Amino acid sequence: MRKSNVASRLGLLGGLLVTATVAVAQPAAQPLMVKMLKTNVYVAVGGGGNTGIIIGDKGVIVIDAKTTPASGMEVVDEVEKLTDKPITTVILTHSDADHVNGLAAFPKGLTIIAHANNKMEQEQAIAAGGRGAPPKDYLPTQLVTKTRESPTIDGVKMTLIHIAPAHTSGDLAVYLPDQKMVFTGDLVATNIPDPLIHLQKHGTSQGWIDFVSALVKLDADTYVPGHGDVQTRAQVEARLKNAEMKRAKIASLVKQNKSLDEVKSALGETAGAQAGAPRFPSFTETTYEELTKK
């Protein structure tokens, strides 16, 4: 295996620290753990969103890059333990900082694949001061603009899927047909009960339902979420059904001109603002705003 030049890389790291906003909160200081899912396919858990590692014919494809240069460097080091092959390609499932900021520690000159809206969101973050985006020289280099694109990268067959704005406007799922596996990004995040919709990134609850409905129709038995444990098709279908039922009930209450607090109460949720640490708006809150927006 290749040996890491730890001293020089730590020196590089000092100049690359990036302030990150984590999209789906995880426990602090979760150690990085790499698990083999199928032959030549792994998931690295901890340090931000889940990261996929796929060993191809001559190189390595990484799906999502963690939250900080430090956690990104951990991924690079773990890849070096698995294979002598270099990282050549990174696929980004969406633009949230805990999936893209770790790119700052990756080798230069990579092919970075993302949906066109993902790149736009990163460019907007850079223009706003850089919070929530990697450095400019790690912006996507290859854009997905169609609903489905099916490249073969380094001998690995895959389909890159974008159905509609869902968690964000630039979500991208990665389907590996030979392995019957889907990397969902934060379309599925099992450490929270309901879908997380970023309205500020033009995500929508209906888009989430349409997107995940398409994913459960794939010939797949393994779904790797953006956060949390690997899921079966049945588990993702159950999550989809719950979201469909909740959205339908919210829509019915909105038609009755119910207030947000009344909707929350009808759903058995706490009305009014929640005390404590800052949090992301709930699925009920974002769906209500989406359905009542003039």
Range of the structural domain that residue 140 is part of: 6-292
Q: Alpha helices of the chain — where are they, by DSSP H?
A: 6-14, 69-82, 97-100, 116-127, 205-216, 233-255, 260-266, 283-292
Res 180: pLDDT: 98
Residue 179 · residue 42 · CB < 8 Å: no
Interval 246-272 mean pLDDT: 95
Model confidence at 245, pLDDT cuts 50, 70, 90, reads very high
Residue 1 domain-assigned? no
Model confidence at 270, pLDDT cuts 50, 70, 90, reads confident
Q: List pLDDT tens digits, range 93-126.
A: 999 999 999 999 999 999 999 999 999 999 999 9
Q: List pLDDT tens digits, range 129-180.
A: 877 888 999 999 999 999 999 999 999 999 999 999 999 999 999 999 999 9
DSSP E strands, 145-190: 148-149, 152-153, 156-157, 159-161, 173-176, 181-189
- Of 192, 190, 191, 185, nearest to 226 by C-alpha is 185
11, pLDDT greater than 60: no
Residue 136 domain-assigned? yes
What percent of the residues of the chain are helix, what percent strand, and what percent coil, each to the nearest 5?
35, 20, 45
Q: Under 8 Å CB-to-CB from 89, ≥6 apart: which residues? A: 59, 60, 61, 62, 110, 111, 112, 113, 153, 154
Res 130: pLDDT: 76
Q: CATH code at 137?
A: 3.60.15.10
- Pair of tokens at residue 128: 């706003």
Interval 70-93 mean pLDDT: 97
- Give how many domains the chain has, as a whole number: 1
